A and B are shown apart, each in its own frame.
Chain A
Amino acid sequence: MEIKLLYYLIPSLIMFCCGVYGFLTRKNMIAILISLELMLNSIDINFVVFNRYLYPDGHEGMFFSLFAIAIAAAETALAIAIIINLYRATKNIDVRDTNKLKG
Chain B
Amino acid sequence: MDYSQFLAMKQEIALLGVFLLVFLYDLFMPKNSQRGLSGFTIAMFAIFTVSCFCPVFISGQEVAFGGMYVTNPVMLTIKNILNVGVLIVLIQASRWANSEMQIIRRGEFYSLMLVTLFGMYLMISARHFLLFVIGLECASLPLAAMVAFEKNHYESHEAAIKYILTAVFSSAIFMLGLSFVYGLAGSLYFDSVYFALTGADATDPMLIVALAFVMAGVGFKLSLVPFHLWTADVYQGAPTSVTSYLSVISKGSAAFAFMVILTQVFGCVYSQVWEWMLYALIILTITVGNLFALRQHNMKRFLAFSSISQAGYIMLGIIGCNAMGMASLMFYILVYIFSNLAAFGVIQAIENQTGKVDMTDYRGLYKSNPHLSVVMMLAMFSLAGIPPFAGFFSKFFIFTGALSGTESTALYVLVLIALINTIISLFYYLLVVKAMFLSSEEPVIAPFRSACSERVGMWITVAGILALGLVSCFYNQILILCQTWGLPSLA
Interface residues of chain A, those whose CB is within 8 Å of chain B, are: 16, 19, 23, 29, 32-33, 36, 39-40, 42-43, 46-47, 50-51, 54-55, 58, 60-61, 63-64, 67-68, 71, 74-75, 78-79, 81-83, 85-86, 89-90, 98-103
Contact = CB atoms under 8 A, between A and B. Distances in A.
Given A60-B188, A67-B130, A75 B137 contact: yes
Interface stretch (B25-33, B157-165, B386-394): B157-165
Contacts of B296: 103
Contact of B179 (A47, A89, A102): A47
Given A79-B164, A101-B237, A43 B145 contact: no
Query: By CB atoms of chain A within 10 A, which of B151, B158, B167 has the most?
Result: B158
B75 interface: no
Query: By CB atoms of chain B within 10 A, which of A36, A43, A101 has the most?
Result: A101
A82 to B, nearest CB: 5
A46 B137 CA distance: 20
Contacts of A46: 176, 179-180, 183
B155 interface: yes
A50 B144 contact: no
Contacts of A102: 233
16 contacts: A55-B187, A60-B182, A63-B130, A64-B182, A67-B130, A67-B133, A71-B133, A74-B137, A82-B157, A89-B154, A90-B157, A100-B158, A101-B158, A101-B159, A101-B162, A103-B298
Given A67-B133, A81-B145, A99-B158, 15 more contacts: A16-B172, A29-B161, A39-B169, A40-B175, A43-B172, A43-B178, A46-B180, A55-B186, A61-B182, A64-B178, A64-B188, A71-B171, A79-B165, A82-B144, A101-B237
B130 to A, nearest CB: 5
Size bin of chain B's contact surface: 35 or more
B157 A85 contact: yes
Nearest to A48: B179
A86 B158 contact: yes
A33 B296 CA distance: 31
Query: By CB atoms of chain A within 10 A, which of B162, B176, B232 has the most?
Result: B176
A16 B159 CA distance: 26
Contacts of A74: 137, 141
A14 B171 CA distance: 18
B298 A36 contact: no
Contacts of A60: 130, 182, 187-188
A82 B161 contact: yes
**9 pairs of A and B residues whose beta carbons are closest in the complex:** A46-B179, A39-B172, A101-B233, A86-B157, A50-B183, A55-B186, A43-B175, A82-B160, A79-B164
Contacts of A42: 176
Contacts of B154: 89-90, 100
B290 to A, nearest CB: 16
A58 B141 CA distance: 30
A67 B168 CA distance: 15
Contact of B236 (A32, A54, A101): A101
A46 B210 CA distance: 13
Contacts of A100: 154-155, 158
Contacts of A33: 165
B157 A89 contact: yes
Interface of B: 129-130, 133-134, 137, 141, 144-145, 148, 151, 154-155, 157-162, 164-165, 167-169, 171-172, 175-176, 178-180, 182-183, 186-188, 232-233, 236-237, 296-298, 301
A11 to B, nearest CB: 14
Nearest to B181: A50
B299 to A, nearest CB: 12
A1 B164 CA distance: 44
A58 B128 CA distance: 15
A87 B175 CA distance: 30
A67 B131 CA distance: 10
B174 to A, nearest CB: 9
Contacts of A36: 165, 168-169, 172
Contacts of A58: 186-187
A103 B175 contact: no
A86 to B, nearest CB: 4
Given A40-B175, A60-B182, A103-B297, A75 B168 contact: yes
Given A39-B172, A40-B172, A43-B176, A75 B157 contact: no
A71 B157 contact: no
Contacts of A39: 169, 172, 176
B138 to A, nearest CB: 9
B178 to A, nearest CB: 8
A98 B158 contact: yes
A19 B165 CA distance: 13
Contacts of B172: 16, 19, 36, 39-40, 43
Nearest to B297: A103
B358 to A, nearest CB: 11
Contacts of A71: 133-134, 137, 171
Contacts of B232: 101, 103
B151 to A, nearest CB: 7
Query: By CB atoms of chain B within 10 A, which of A29, A42, A43, A90 has the most?
Result: A43
B183 A103 contact: no
Contacts of B133: 64, 67-68, 71
